[in-house]
Structure 1
Amino acid sequence: MPYEWSPQAIGSPLTRLDLWPHRSLPRRGFAGFMVVTCVMISLPLFALLGTVLLWGLLPFVALAVAGLWWALQRSYASGNTHEVLFMDADAVRLTRTNPHGDVQEWDCNSYWAQVNMYPTGGPVAHYLTLKGRGREVEIGAFLSEDERRALYPEIKNALQLARVAR
């Protein structure tokens, strides 16, 4: 799962949840994929060696490889998104770091904080939000539907435990 609950220190009521987007293609796999793609795309060009057609097709092949490289690099950049949810007896705080480095924060008294899941009617199925202080914010926007479904009861239980710690 692309999220992790940090173990609590002894005597510390603070709970921390880190969330990040899942990356199915690691950097090493990216390099291998690009090498295999370049080899597979260049195989048909060997038949055109020494002809004028090679020079006509080469810019399009280079453009296709460059476009694939750009798209995968952009996907990796979006993977820099990171959310941290802190919960203790007094407050709940959600901090989201976006791919370009800008930070968004939301906080609320833990007594009034609510976690909600909207199975339908949200922008995505099983839309997961935190509500409090007159605002409702999405958590785990980058998670899959199954991951949001699994995370909902965990956050709900952690929130109840934070309230009991009062």
Structure 2
Amino acid sequence: MPYEWVNPATGAPDHSGALSHPPHLLGRNTRGGRPASPVGGRQPPAPPATGAPSAELHLWPYRSLPRRGFVAFIGITFLLILLPLLAALGTPVLWGLLPFVLGALALMWYFLQRSYRDGELLEQLCLWPDHMTLTRHNPRGPTQHWQANPYWVRVMIHPKGGPVENYLTLQGGDREVELGAFLTPAERATLRAEVMAELARLRQV
């Protein structure tokens, strides 16, 4: 799964089934109204923690094609495109077709690179006994922050009616923010149980 719980003492993941590691957090006011960002527009970022968190969760989107596979894919595609051009070697036809071939290859490279950049977002959930923070590092925008008291936070899952199936949110105070919207419905259901277990452990501290 594309998330992992990190042990702050060792920096090692407690568990992760991810195939690769990189590195929407849409908030909504629970009193109604339009969706808002986790920071609510003008709210200040979460204050820095004074110590290592009791638990830390990293989440990132799936990447079906790793970097090494990306380079191999472009290389193989280039060779396959060149094969039909071998018959045109030494003729004016080659120079007429070559710009189109290179243009198509460059366009493919651009869109694959853009897809990679879009997949570089990271959601980071940190929990302490007295507060918790959620930070979303956006590849194309400013970093977003949310914080709340874990004692009052509710972990909500919306099987229907949300942007995605099993829409997972954290509700603290008058603000509700999403968590792991890029995960699969089954992964969000599993993650909800794990976050609830961590919150229950913190409330006993």
TM-score, length-normalised on structure 1? 0.89
Q: Is the 8 A contact 1:13 1:162 kept in 2?
A: no
Report sequence identity in percent: 52
Kept after mapping to 2: 8 A contact 1:92/1:113 = no
Alpha-carbon offset, residue 49 of structure 1: 2.3
Secondary structure of the equivalent of 2:61?
coil
C-alpha contact (below 8 Å) 2:53/2:126 kept by paired residues: no
Query: Which residue of the partner structure matches residue 141 of structure 1?
Result: 181
Q: Please point out which of 69, 89, 94 is paired with 1:49.
A: 89
Within 2, Cα distance between the matches of 1:33 and 1:108?
45
Q: Does structure 2 conserve the Cα–Cα contact (< 8 Å) formed by 1:6 and 1:15?
A: yes
2:197 is the counterpart of 1:161: no
Residues paired across the two proteins, number:
164
Q: Could you tell me which of 49, 55, 61 is aligned with 2:101?
A: 61
Deviation per CA, 1:19-67: give whole Å up to 9, x if none.
Answer: 1222232222111111101001111111222333333322221121111
**One-letter amino acid of the structure 2 residue matched with residue 94 of structure 1:** L
Cα distance in structure 2, aligned partners of 1:78 and 1:119: 26
| 1:82 alignment partner, one of 116, 122, 144 | 122
Q: Which residue of 2 aligns with 1:70?
A: 110
Does 1:98 pair with 2:144? Answer: no
Q: Secondary structure at the match of 1:16?
A: strand
Residue type at the aligned position of 2:110 = W
The 5 A counterparts of 1:115-126 are: 115-126=155-166
- 1: CA distance between counterparts of 2:112 and 2:191? 28
Which ranges in structure 2 are unaligned for 5 or more consecutive residues? 11-51
In the other structure, the counterpart of 2:63 is 23
> How far apart, CA to CA, are the structure 1 residues paired with 2:154 and 2:184?
21
CA distance in 2, matches of 1:121, 1:135: 18
Backbone CA RMSD of aligned residues: 2.0
Task: Indicate yes or no: 2:7 matched with 1:7.
Answer: yes
Cα separation, 2, equivalents of 1:42 and 1:53: 13
For residue 143 of structure 1, report the CA deviation from its aligned partner: 2.0
Q: Whose helix proportion is higher, 1 or 2?
A: 1
